[in-house]
Amino acid sequence: MRLTTEEQAMLRGEAGPAIRRAMEIVVALGQIYDADELVAVSHAQVAGVSYKNLGQAGLEFLQQWAAEGARVRVPTTLNPAGMDLAQWRELGVSAEFAEQQGRVIDAYLAMGIEPTLTCAPYEVGHRPRRNEHLAWSESSAVSFANSLLGARTNREGGPSALAAAITGRTPRYGLHLDEARRATHLVEVRCSLEDAADFGALGYLVGRRVRNGVPYFRLLGHTPDLSLGPGSAGEELLRALGAALAASGAVALYHVEGVTPEAGEPDILPAAAERVTFTRLDEGYAALNAPVEDIDLVTIGCPHASLAQIAEIARQVAGATLRAALWVTTARAIRDQAAALGYVAAIEAAGGRVVADTCMVVAPVEELGIHALATNSAKAAFYAPSHGGVSARFGSLEQCLAAARTGRWAT
């Protein structure tokens, strides 16, 4: 692999031990994937923030790297933590967990990372442009950046994204290259798709089928308007699709004919792409629904909710008295905007909460006494059993909010 003079110096430790350690990770990754060279990244997004997932060993690794002088060279943001930094007590998080979680964030702050604590950095001012090279690690954000914005990032691990942030480089392989962005599967969808849950169910089914391929969707049934742009309804629906594709499979890029920016590129759909047809979604809904009736928690906002989604939830719960807990999870900056517009007060008046900085998949749900949840996110329903031993119900936003009102899932 070719390294520039500056990169070679970093690798020899001439810029200090922290940068040498980071460059060793970047170069090792490049060698594994047979990259010819490194590419400069404009932004990094680091997962591996919740103390629940990191544990003591992960915390000490970060503290040691920070103490060696690790500092990021490019704007870098953080994935959700294990708790809402402001309301953790009210949510039932223990003081012990909160203390360790605070240490994790302190280590990242010492490195110069912006503590956005969101899986949707594109909602809080970090919206990359087409062909921009990134090192992002949250799988739903990777899917969003590649597919909806035409930016270029592999699905990084937490340490490799952090190493890219510290060196400003990532190996040029995989989705940084044109050839890996071509479709491996032509997915013809012959049923209608009405809402985010339908897009999530489809994503679950296709991810399971194509694994780490690049699906090219031809949507032949009825769909809502999928026009893209910040805050558009189309973007919300495709976020649900991408998050599910990345959860049940390892899809980091997909194309939607007539919608996503690279779908019209010449050669994007090679003749050799495998053709797959889906005519129904019920198998996806069945796989993501456990047979539980009593619901402890309804959770909306996976990926983290946009302002428009919070406004819609506030409208739907206005005047209600909720029997199950309701968490609408979002970025702190979006919560602040929602509070200023009265949406947080409307949701709290019904008995719900707008929870920032975290989500139920990375929070220590075992500590919180939650056994059954309802969600409109296929990704959350997919991970709930394995990440917290929680049974999940999966359906539309309306079904979820009905469950919040009654405490039961209506079948």
Binding interface with ligand F3S (CB under 6 A): 79-80, 119, 140, 243, 302-304, 329, 359, 361-362, 379-380, 383
Find the shortest distance in angstroms from Cβ 290 to ligand F3S.
17
Q: How far is the C-alpha of 35 from the C-alpha of 176, rounded, in Å? A: 10
In the complex with ligand F3S, which residue's Cβ is closer, 52 or 133? 52
Strands of the sheet with 325-330, listed across from one edge: 353-356, 325-330, 297-305, 372-375, 391-394
- Distance, CA of 259 to CA of 228 (rounded, Å): 7
Q: Which is closer to ligand F3S, CB of 120 or CB of 273?
A: 120
Query: Which residue number, 22 or 141, has a Cβ lying nearer to ligand F3S?
Result: 141
Task: State in angstroms the smallest separation of the CB of 49 from ligand F3S.
Answer: 9
Identify whether the C-beta of residue 374 lies closer than 8 Å to the C-beta of residue 295: yes
Pick the closer one to ligand F3S by CB: 216 or 382.
Answer: 382
Spatial CA neighbour of 277 closest among 375, 365, 206, 180: 206
Q: Are 347 and 353 in contact (CB under 8 A)?
A: yes
Find the shortest distance in angstroms from Cβ 47 to ligand F3S: 8
CA–CA separation, 254 and 268 (whole Å): 11
The nearest distance, CB 289 to ligand F3S, in angstroms, is 18
The nearer residue to ligand F3S, 182 or 387, going by C-beta atoms, is 387
| Between 11 and 381, CB nearer to ligand F3S | 381
Nearer Cβ to ligand F3S, position 65 or 383?
Answer: 383
Write down the least CB distance from residue 369 to ligand F3S, Å. Answer: 20
| Nearest approach, Cβ of residue 201 and ligand F3S (Å) | 16
* Shortest CB 362 distance to ligand F3S, Å: 6
Q: What is the closest distance, in whole angstroms, from the C-beta atom of residue 86 to ligand F3S in the complex? A: 18
Residue (200 or 284) nearer to ligand F3S, CB: 200
